[in-house]
A and B are shown apart, each in its own frame.
Chain A
Amino acid sequence: DTGVSQNPRHKITKRGQNVTFRCDPISEHNRLYWYRQTLGQGPEFLTYFQNEAQLEKSRLLSDRFSAERPKGSFSTLEIQRTEQGDSAMYLCASSAGTESNQPQHFGDGTRLSIL
Chain B
Amino acid sequence: SQKIEQNSEALNIQEGKTATLTCNYTNYSPAYLQWYRQDPGRGPVFLLLIRENEKEKRKERLKVTFDTTLKQSLFHITASQPADSATYLCASHNAGNNRKLIWGLGTSLAVNP
Interface bracket on A? 20 to 34
B81 CB, min distance to chain A CBs, angstroms: 23
Which positions in B face A, CB cutoff 8 Å?
Answer: 8, 31-32, 34, 41-46, 49, 51, 89, 91, 93, 97-106
The tally of CB-CB contacts under 8 A between chains A and B is: 56
Q: Is the CB of A42 within 8 A of B99?
A: no
A99 to chain B, nearest CB (A): 9
- Residues in B whose Cβ lies below 8 Å from that of A48: 99-100
Q: Is the CB of A106 within 8 A of B44?
A: yes
- CB of A62 closer than 8 Å to a CB of B: no
Does A41 sit at the interface, judged by CB under 8 A?
A: yes
Could you mark each residue 76-113 of chain A with 1 if its beta carbon is under 8 Å from any beta carbon of chain B, else 0? Answer: 00000000000000010100000011011111110100
Residues of B within 8 A of A4 (CB): 43
Of B34, B42, B100, the contact of A103 (CB 8 Å cutoff): B34
Interface contact A107-B97, CB-CB below 8 Å: no
Given the interface pairs A103-B34, A103-B46, the reply to whether A42 lies near B100 with Cβ below 8 Å is no
Query: CA A7 – CA B102 in complex, angstroms?
Result: 25
Contact of B99 among A40, A56, A105 (CB under 8 A): A56
The CA-CA distance from A48 to B98 in the complex, in Å, is 11
Q: Which residue on B lies nearest to A33, using beta carbons?
A: B100
- Judge whether A41 and B105 touch: CB under 8 Å: yes
| Cα separation A7 to B34 with both chains bound (whole Å) | 27
Task: Please state if B42 and A108 are interface contacts (CB–CB under 8 Å).
Answer: yes
